[in-house]
Amino acid sequence: MVIDHVISTFSKNQYHRFVELCPIAENYIVDGGMILIKYWMEVDQQEQERRFKARNKDPLRQWKLSPMDLELYRRWYEYFRARDNMLKATDTRTAP
């Protein structure tokens, strides 16, 4: 959802609705007796650049380099601001 917000495949209203409903949905999951564990995995900008260069040079891996990847790399800081906002909005006592 963060990616969609940054590259405008979702409207701001859709993004805000997601951030509003996500904690509610997570509460239902936890109230239902499930253990909810949230992970966020990422690589830093240098590692991403290294991977892109390697993919660009290797004909067998070039298919992994999509236009969306390149656009998100171009908007690196915007993406991470959106990520931080999403994590803050969905960090609750029920589902930290």
Q: What range defines the domain where residue 70 resides?
A: 2-89
Half-sphere exposure (Cβ direction) of 33: Cα atoms closer than 13 Å:
0
E strand segments, 34-88:
none
C-alpha distance from residue 5 to each of 17, 65, 70, 73, 93 (Å):
12, 20, 16, 14, 25
- Answer yes or no: is 48 within a domain: yes
Give the pLDDT band of residue 60 (cuts 50, 70, 90).
confident
- Answer yes or no: is 14 within a domain: yes
- Answer yes or no: is 53 within a domain: yes
Average confidence (pLDDT) over 67-85: 84
- Answer yes or no: is 95 within a domain: no
- Answer yes or no: is 56 within a domain: yes
Give the pLDDT band of residue 3 (cuts 50, 70, 90).
low
- Answer yes or no: is 77 within a domain: yes
Q: What mean pLDDT value characterizes the chain?
A: 86
- Answer yes or no: is 70 within a domain: yes
Other C-beta atoms lying within 10 Å of the C-beta of residue 40 = 8
What is the reported pTM?
Answer: 0.69
Segment 18-59, tens digit of pLDDT: 889 999 999 999 999 999 998 888 888 899 889 888 988 888
pLDDT at 31: 95
Give the pLDDT band of residue 1 (cuts 50, 70, 90).
low
| pLDDT exceeds 80 at position 82 | yes
- Answer yes or no: is 96 within a domain: no
For residue 4 the two structure tokens come to: 């969609």
**Domains in the chain, number:** 1
